[in-house]
With several copies, the nearest count.
Chain A
Amino acid sequence: MKKNKHYLLPDISRPGKVGCQLPELDVPAAELPPREKLRQELTLPEVSEAELVRHFTSLSRRNYGVDTGFYPLGSCTMKYNPKWHEDIARFPGFQDIHPYQPADTVPGALQLMFELQELLAEITGLDATSLTPMAGAQGELAGLLMVRAYHRSRGEDRRRKILVPDSAHGTNPATAAMCGFEVKTIPSNGDGNLDLKSLVSLMNEESAALTLTMPTTLGLFDPRIAEISAIVHERGGLLIGDGANLNSLLGKVKFGDLGFDCVQLNLHKTFSTPHGGGGPGSGPVCVKAGLADFLPSLLVAKDKKRYQFTSPPITIGRLGAACGNFGVMVKAYTYIHSLGAEGLKEVSENAVLNANYIKEKLKPYYHLPYDRTCMHEVVFSGKKQKARGVATLDIAKRLLDYGFHPPTVYFPQVVEEAIMIEPTETESKETLDAFIEAMIEIAREAEQNPELLHHAPHNTPVRRLDEANAARKPNLRWKMK
Chain B
Amino acid sequence: MPSPYIPNTDQDCATMLRDIGAGSIDELFQDIPAPFRDVPFHLPPPLTELELREKLNRRSRQNASLDNYACFLGAGYYRHFVPGVIGHITGRSEFYTAYTPYQAEASQGILQAIYEYQSLVCQLAGMEISNAGMYDGSSAAAEAALMAGRITGRKNVAVLSSVNPRYREVIGTYGRGQDLTIHELPPDFKGMPNESACLVVQQPNFFGYFEEVKRCAEIAHGAGALLVVIFDPISLGLFPPPGSYGADIAVAEGQPLGNPLNFGGPGLGIFTCRQEHLRQMPGRVVGRTTDAEGQTGFVLTMATREQHIRRERATSNICTNEALVALAATVYLAAMGKSGLRRAAELCYHKAHYTAEAISKLKGYSLAFKQPFFKEFVIRCPQSPEKINRILLKEKIIGGLDVSHLVDNGMLLCVTEMNSRQEIDRLVSALRAL
Contact = CB atoms under 8 A, between A and B. Distances in A.
Given A63-B106, A252-B29, A97 B66 contact: yes
Interface stretch (B185-193, B221-229, B255-263, B360-368): B255-263
Interface stretch (A39-47, A202-210, A231-239, A443-451): A39-47
B353 interface: yes
A107 B324 contact: no
B100 to A, nearest CB: 4
A170 B336 CA distance: 39
A359 B15 CA distance: 15
Contact of B135 (A95, A138, A176, A470): A138
Interface stretch (A285-293, A343-351, A381-389): A343-351
Contact of A280 (B4, B10, B265): B265
A405 B106 CA distance: 7
A116 to B, nearest CB: 12
Given A258-B36, A461-B108, A474-B301, A279 B46 contact: no
A259 to B, nearest CB: 10
B105 A68 contact: no
Interface string A282-310: 01000000000000100000000000000
A340 B44 contact: yes
B95 to A, nearest CB: 5
A91 B85 contact: no
A88 interface: yes
B52 A88 contact: yes
A277 B95 contact: yes
A434 interface: no
Interface string A50-75: 11110111011111111110010100
Main secondary structure of the interface of A (DSSP, over half): loop
A178 B173 CA distance: 11
Contacts of B169: 317-318
A170 B306 contact: yes
A31 to B, nearest CB: 8
Nearest to A87: B84
B320 A460 contact: no
A94 interface: yes
Interface range, A side: 35 or more
Interface string B223-264: 000000000000011111100000000000100000011111
A100 B289 contact: no
Contacts of A320: 135-136, 138-139, 170, 264-265, 267
A178 B177 contact: yes
A397 interface: yes
A350 B312 contact: no
A466 B301 contact: no
A354 B19 CA distance: 11
Nearest to A25: B350
A95 B82 CA distance: 12
B163 to A, nearest CB: 11
Contact of A43 (B37, B166, B278, B338): B338
Contacts of B50: 22-23
Question: Which of A1, A327, A408, A465 counts the most chain B CB atoms within 10 A?
Answer: A465
Contacts of A174: 307, 310-312, 314, 316-317
Contact of A18 (B29, B119, B340): B340
Nearest to B13: A353
Given A23-B347, A180-B178, A476 B130 contact: yes
Interface in B160-177: 164, 166-167, 169-170, 172-174, 176-177
Contacts of B284: 278
A326 B263 contact: yes
Interface string A441-479: 000000000000001010011111111011100111111
Given A39-B239, A53-B89, A99-B77, A464 B105 contact: yes
Given A108-B62, A353-B17, A123 B43 contact: yes
Interface string B84-128: 110111011111111111111111111011111011101110000
Given A137-B319, A469-B290, A105 B170 contact: no
Given A135-B321, A223-B33, A455-B292, A338 B49 contact: yes
A391 interface: no
A65 B97 contact: yes
Interface string B316-329: 11111111110100
A86 to B, nearest CB: 7
A196 interface: no
A321 B137 contact: yes
A254 B84 CA distance: 32
Interface in B5-24: 5-13, 15-17, 19-22
A465 B172 contact: no
**Which of B68, B105, B263, B318 has its CB near the most chain A CB atoms (within 10 A)?**
B263
5 contacts: A42-B124, A258-B36, A353-B28, A396-B103, A463-B292
Per CB-CB distance, the 3 closest pairs between chain A and chain B, nearest first, are A322-B264, A84-B84, A99-B264
Given A18-B340, A320-B170, 5 more contacts: A53-B89, A93-B59, A334-B56, A405-B103, A476-B301
